[in-house]
Amino acid sequence: MARPPPDPQFVLRGTGAAVHTLHFSCGGQELDVPTLFSGSENGLIHVWNLKSHRVDRALDGHGRKSVYCVETMGTGDKLLSQGRDQRICLWDLAEGRTSVTDFVFTENVGFCRCSLLQVAQGRWLMAMASKALEEVQVLELPSKTSVCTLKPEVGAKLGMPMCLKLWQLSSGSQPLLLAGYEDGSVVLWNLSMAKALSQLGCHQEPVMSLDFDAEKVKGISGSSEKVLSIWSLNEQQNLQVYKTHNLVNAGISDITLRPDRKILATAGWDHRIRIFGWKKLKPLAVLDYHTATVHCVSFSDHKNLSERLLAAGSKDHRISIWSIYTDT
């Protein structure tokens, strides 16, 4: 007899608007408080204190336009946020400050979340959808110099890039980019040559989100249909479909793998969060708490394994925090 699914450990209320993006910052020094950053549709970034379950600070830097991507750069002091005001802002949050130190004007009116990858101490690569319809631009931060622009070939008809993921096989090796597009295909790009290495048509509908495991060179993508597609990279750097999984209800907004690569979580349009085992995509749990579409899911980066959390932000203005499978 299987156990009934767990309830959320606690629920954060108070954003006042649909939550589009979440990011944990809990692995820092002991003095730092475990923090969760959330970006909402009203343009505010809330900094949640996970000990008191309250908002510490609210950052307003996107002119009341929806914030759909939040990432930390290194420690919890530097924050990057992307909003629908076509800006990517860099924040300095050390010592209680809340100022935007720099910003990048993307000129892109889409919803594609940018992707960050730390390539060296103090240097990041950021991939973002750029002004032209099908293009992805990779910048180096904090210098904001353009590394390359990835244009699909003429007539490829990929549509807008929907989701991006920068990765490297091991630190120091060449960074690569995985991009999911509007026509349902995932393309692997080589940044140094600005060339597409492989393209795989995994879905009939736009790819809404993807995540990639660099160790096993296996990735998963979800779209607006009922199918989750798991694909892998072979020695020739070619993508191929490994497995597909059918869901009960259509629509996935977000997929994320836990840092220990044991489980993954999907955020669904049917208000449910689903947990799967990563190895064989075994369905493990369906977490049914929210009353509207779940927009984002995120795993925490706690060093203490038993404290690990899963956060889900939804259109019903709430963020649910779950503690699930923390003892493995």
Near another protein by CB under 8 A: residue from 193, 248, 292, 305: 248
Separation CA 300–CA 256 (nearest Å): 11
6 in contact with another protein (CB under 8 A): yes
Q: What SS3 class is residue 94?
A: helix
Q: Among residues 10 and 242, whose Cβ is nearest to another protein?
A: 242
- Inter-residue contact 150 to 177 (CB < 8 Å): yes
- Inter-residue contact 49 to 33 (CB < 8 Å): yes
Near another protein by CB under 8 A: residue from 285, 309, 310, 311: 285
Q: Between residue 188 and residue 207, which ones bind another protein under the rule CB under 8 A?
A: 198-201
Separation CA 278–CA 220 (nearest Å): 9
Size of the site for another protein (CB under 8 A): 43
242 in contact with another protein (CB under 8 A): yes
Separation CA 250–CA 242 (nearest Å): 20
- Inter-residue contact 213 to 219 (CB < 8 Å): yes
Near another protein by CB under 8 A: residue from 119, 133, 194, 284: 284
Q: Among residues 18 and 285, whose Cβ is nearest to another protein?
A: 285
Residue with tokens 């210098």: 143
In degrees and rounded to multiples of 5, residue 297 shows phi and psi of -130, 150
Near another protein by CB under 8 A: residue from 30, 235, 246, 306: 235
User: Which tokens sit at 132?
Assistant: 């032209």
Q: Between residue 64 and residue 123, which ones bind another protein under the rule CB under 8 A?
A: none
Residues binding another protein (CB under 8 A): 1-6, 155-157, 183-185, 198-201, 216, 232, 234-236, 238-240, 242, 248-249, 262-263, 270-272, 277, 279-280, 282-286, 288, 325, 328
